[in-house]
Amino acid sequence: MPPARKAAIDSLALEKVHDLSKYISKIGDKETSFSEANRVIERALELFVEDAQMGVSTLGKKQIRYFDIKKYLERLNKLNYKSVNIEWFDIQYISDLEKQPDGRYVGVITIYQKFTGVTEDGMVYKDITKKDITVYVERKTTQIGGREIGFWDVLLGDIRVSETKKG
């Protein structure tokens, strides 16, 4: 892949991860109406390959649970906290895109997620989770003015938990 194309694809992949970060914050925000959260969930789902999963961890527990992305986002919207704040930071590529036999390219982006939840009685839960996001880059086509135009698109895959620590 030519360096200029790779730079453009890297930029698009990071942009999609930033979009997901904004969507997750909006969905988790208790000020967001139910209908708005559902609209944002649908937008977030457009970022993913089919069957992608999100890893969820809790401080003090070794178990990592994986949920279908839609189920994860719906659960996020219903968390039993008075307020929820979710921030993603230090977003970076940790692996170069590698070409697969099917012609797609696959890479991994690492992010850190800071979660803060406050219960009705004022108890605060905080953690920071390191997550690895699989990124798929594939060639697609669209019709514009009767002509078929090819382009590269980026979709997100599984989001795996690699570590959780106190926030």
Q: Each residue of 63-77: pLDDT tens digit?
A: 999 999 999 999 999
pLDDT tier, 51 (very low <50, low <70, confident <90, very high otherwise): very high
In this predicted structure, the answer to whether residue 28 has a pLDDT above a threshold of 90 is no
Token pair belonging to 9: 């694809």
Q: In what order do the strands lie in the sheet with 65-68?
A: 65-68, 53-56, 147-166, 124-144, 105-118, 83-99
In this predicted structure, the answer to whether residue 167 has a pLDDT above a threshold of 80 is no
pLDDT tens, residue by residue, 95-154 = 788 999 998 999 999 999 999 988 889 999 999 999 999 999 998 999 999 999 999 899
Residue 128's domain spans which residues? Answer: 3-166
Total structural domains in the chain?
1
CATH number of the domain to which 83 belongs: 3.10.450.50
The single residue listed with the structure tokens 């690699």 is 162
Torsion over CA: 51, 55, 56, 60 (sign)? positive
How far is residue 167's CA from residue 151's CA, in Å, rounded to a whole number?
Answer: 41
Contacts of 151 (CB under 8 A, 6+ apart): 139, 140, 141, 142
